[in-house]
A and B are shown apart, each in its own frame.
Chain A
Amino acid sequence: MARCGVGMRSRSAACRFWVVGLLAAVALSGCVRGRDDGHGKAHAASTHRDASPSRLIITGSSTLAPLVAEIARRFEQLHPDVRIEVQTGGSSRGIRDVSTGAADIAMVSRDLDESERDLTAIPIARDGVCLLIHKNNPVTSLTDEQVIGIYTGKIRHWEEVGGLPQPIVVVSKAAGRATLEVFCQYFRLREDQIRADIIIGDNQEGLKAVANHTGAIGYVSLGAAEYEAQRGLPIKLLPSRGVPATTDRLADGSFPISRTLNLVTRGEPSGWASRFISYCCSEHVHDLVEAFFFVPVVR
């Protein structure tokens, strides 16, 4: 009898526990929905723009965002009366936000097209992607057609492109990565045409995967690859269209698999936006640009 009583009691306690928990959850998820609403944030913030301290809203490419955020931090230390807010959402969102006035500056990781002529693009860095293979692989170069063949699964053995008799291990990047975007754009591939054996996230994993397999081919950010190759990682950077993959060639614009990273404003930049963009182009931030494996644009 006593035993039964205990059982009943704990059951009713458990019941109460869940009911109250459920109520709390409903309330909380209501909060989440109300607060977290994508673009609304930028709009809301921009209406306060005139209030002091001054506020800069920067939105756009997730490739550029980490770099710009770092530069912004440094800029804020120099100018304590400015607050800079950096949000991602893709280059297109950046352009849209700048056009509507929701943002002051857009981060755009491509060149502007014809329809966007009312905007001003200022390049702050270049981003290059290079193909790499294992150091012991005797292959020294691949044509663009060969690379396309390999990445679409038509070429499966190194012998077919003048290498050793071993299968090709194709290393590619996960969806959404800027490197993948640049790679696909350059070789005119769609993501779903790529037949990969190993899919990696960041550059380090890609470098490691290629260094571990003599039969591997991969592509990573040029800056990162050059840095690791110089430090002795057994990898080989392949030239593209005869241009060696070095940051010098990237900086002078001759390395083909690359893109320009721009800051974009509506009309000519003015005020704090202008000062920030100038700062981004100055030598004071070259160390940061290089830390993210981009190359600074030299004027």
Chain B
Amino acid sequence: MIWWKRSSSSLLSVRGCRRFVDRLLGGAGLLSALLGASLVIWMLGFVLVESWPALQQIGPLRFLTDTAWYPTLGRFGMWPMVVATVVVTIGSVVVTTPVALGSAVYLRFYAPPVLAGLYRRVLWVLAGVPSVVYGWWGITALVPMIGRFSPFGFGHSLLAGVLVLSIMTLPLAALTVDTALGAVPRDYLAAAAALGLGRRAVAWQVAVPLAWRGVLAGVLLQTARAIGETMAVLMVCGNVVQLPVSLFAPVRLLTANIALEMGYATQLHRSALFVSGLWLLVLAAVLVWAAQRLERECT
């Protein structure tokens, strides 16, 4: 369609060349998009294929109805781990959100610019600390501390999991919330200031309510990410498969289940662990879906 134009003048041939580059870039973009999509779907397919024997031979229902998790004895109750994973995630969001919000509001509205810059850099560094380090801190400092208050006499618990997860989540959550607050249109801030609202009111009455969904979406996404960092949680949660009856009770999360047993599992046991992975994918999908919904309604 364009070839005759290209030959008609030098100007148009430049345009033709540009069009060619456009197509090249478009093709490359499509290719990388394809690669990304197929990787994700390949992974999903892999987990499905691997968990298929368990789903077929044990049946999907028994993962919920079996009373306990003794995979080597043919008992595959996964429900307590699903509940524990959800509870720890919610707990972490509840702990992280106010702290991240407070620190981000301080950054945006109170801190002198130099200090804010410094603080942001510290947060970035903290965000890069590997989860094992947090786990190590959890096991040497946090768990003994909780153990002193625990009615059970030891600190490996739901609470320890929530706290370690929160601390891992906090730096990036604070930065995401900071970005969400930064995205509040200047118009609103100017309007608020022009109404004689003080800094506190501008921040908490105008900026925070406006950024609220973005804030929650950010915290959700960061929590979803952090829960995948299995090592820290594995080290402090106690890993007993039971419903979380108390903050101080040990629990096992789905991620920890995989990490604990995968190296030594065979046949159906191994396949059942992939079912844990499937559950995790479902939970992560729910989290991301919720976060995206919040973000979309936010704009």
Of the candidates A88, A190, A191, A199, which one forms a contact with B266 in the assembled complex, judged by CB atoms under 8 Å apart? A88
Considering the complex of A and B, which 9 residue pairs feature the smallest CB-CB distances, nearest first?
A21-B37, A25-B41, A29-B45, A176-B264, A24-B38, A199-B239, A174-B260, A167-B153, A28-B42
Given contacts A25-B45, A197-B156, A198-B156, contact A62 B264 (CB under 8 A): yes
Given contacts A25-B41, A25-B44, contact A201 B260 (CB under 8 A): yes
User: Which B residues lie within 8 Å of A166 (CB)?
Assistant: 153
Asked if B266 and A205 make an inter-chain contact with CB atoms under 8 angstroms apart, the answer reads: no
CB within 8 Å: A-B pair count: 122
User: Which A residues lie within 8 Å of B291 (CB)?
Assistant: none
Given contacts A24-B42, A174-B261, contact A199 B238 (CB under 8 A): yes
Given contacts A169-B154, A213-B147, contact A174 B70 (CB under 8 A): no
Check: A282 CB closer than 8 A to any chain B CB: no
Q: How many residues of A contact B (CB 8 A)?
A: 42
Check: A291 CB closer than 8 A to any chain B CB: no
B38 to chain A, nearest CB (A): 4
User: Which B residues lie within 8 Å of A192 (CB)?
Assistant: 68, 70, 73, 75
Query: For A88, A90, A175, which residue has the most chain B Cβ atoms within 10 angstroms?
Result: A175
Q: Which of A162-217 contact B (CB under 8 A)?
A: 166-167, 169, 174-178, 190-192, 196-201, 205, 208-209, 212-213, 215-216
A156 to chain B, nearest CB (A): 10
Asked if A17 and B34 make an inter-chain contact with CB atoms under 8 angstroms apart, the answer reads: yes
CA distance A21 to B40 in the complex (A): 9
24 A-B contact pairs sorted by A residue (CB < 8 Å) = A17-B33, A17-B37, A28-B45, A32-B49, A33-B49, A62-B263, A93-B266, A167-B152, A175-B72, A175-B269, A176-B71, A176-B265, A176-B269, A178-B264, A190-B73, A198-B156, A198-B238, A199-B239, A199-B252, A201-B234, A212-B143, A212-B144, A213-B153, A213-B154
B82 to chain A, nearest CB (A): 17
Q: Which size class do B's interface residues fall under?
A: 35 or more
Q: Which of B211-260 contact A (CB under 8 A)?
A: 234-235, 238-241, 250, 252, 259-260
Q: Which of B47-78 contact A (CB under 8 A)?
A: 48-49, 68-73, 75
Query: A-side interface residues toward B, CB under 8 Å?
Result: 17-18, 20-22, 24-26, 28-29, 32-33, 36, 62, 88-90, 93, 166-167, 169, 174-178, 190-192, 196-201, 205, 208-209, 212-213, 215-216
CA distance A200 to B260 in the complex (A): 8
Of the candidates A25, A36, A198, which one forms a contact with B239 in the assembled complex, judged by CB atoms under 8 Å apart? A198
CA distance A93 to B240 in the complex (A): 29
Asked if A32 and B240 make an inter-chain contact with CB atoms under 8 angstroms apart, the answer reads: no
User: A26-B45, A93-B266, A175-B71 provided; 15 other pairs, C-beta below 8 A?
Assistant: A17-B30, A18-B37, A20-B37, A25-B41, A28-B38, A169-B154, A175-B264, A176-B263, A176-B266, A197-B154, A198-B156, A198-B250, A201-B259, A208-B139, A212-B143
Check: B46 CB closer than 8 A to any chain A CB: yes
Asked if B154 and A25 make an inter-chain contact with CB atoms under 8 angstroms apart, the answer reads: no
